[in-house]
């Protein structure tokens, strides 16, 4: 069984965000195969093992920090991660091992 991982951009760690908001961002970034994420709050709550209300609060926290943008039309909500992980999203490459500042990272 293969393990799944996601990267969290270091720039995100510099913002004043809760650890739950940072984990939610990692989930959103993992789902962002194109520019936007179409996941429902219920799906995100299941993934993060929390309530839908918590997801709503965390999404607002990420919006206030300019980490994501949310736009809605009459049928859908689109969440766009604004701080991208260069290796995984921008270059569309597979995650790989690299060494940075003396730490081995996925």
Alpha carbons 65 and 81: distance in angstroms, whole number: 11
The count of structural domains within the chain is 1
**36, 80 contact by CB (below 8 A):** yes
Strand partners, 69: 80
Instruction: Supply the pLDDT for residue 34.
Output: 61
Task: Report if residue 2 sits inside a domain.
Answer: no
**pTM for the model:** 0.74
Please state whether 29 falls in left (phi above 0), alpha (psi between -120 and 50) or beta.
alpha
Instruction: Supply the pLDDT for residue 85.
Output: 61
Task: Report if residue 5 sits inside a domain.
Answer: no
Instruction: Supply the pLDDT for residue 20.
Output: 96
CB atoms within 10 A of CB 35: 10
Task: Report if residue 68 sits inside a domain.
Answer: yes
Instruction: Supply the pLDDT for residue 86.
Output: 53
Instruction: Supply the pLDDT for residue 98.
Output: 36
Q: What CATH number has the domain bearing residue 17? A: 1.10.10.10
Q: Give the ranges where the chain is alpha helix by DSSP (H).
A: 10-13, 19-31, 41-48, 52-64
Task: Report if residue 4 sits inside a domain.
Answer: no
Structural domain boundaries enclosing 53: 10-105
Kindly give the confidence (pLDDT) of every residue in the chain, 106 residues in length, as a single tens digit, with 9 standing for 90 and above.
Answer: 677 777 788 888 889 999 999 999 999 988 886 667 888 999 999 999 999 999 999 999 999 999 999 998 888 888 988 887 654 444 444 444 333 333 344 4
């Amino acid at each position: 069984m293969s393990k799944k991982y996601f990267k969290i951009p270091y720039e995100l760690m510099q913002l004043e965000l809760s650890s739950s908001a940072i984990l939610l961002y990692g989930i959103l970034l993992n789902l962002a195969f194109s520019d936007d994420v179409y996941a429902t709050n219920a799906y995100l709550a299941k993934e993060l093992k929390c309530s839908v209300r918590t997801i709503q609060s965390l999404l607002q926290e990420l919006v206030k920090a300019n980490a994501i943008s949310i736009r809605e039309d009459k049928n859908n909500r689109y969440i766009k991660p604004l701080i991208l992980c260069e290796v995984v999203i921008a270059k569309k490459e597979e995650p790989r091992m690299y060494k940075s500042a003396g730490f081995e990272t996925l």
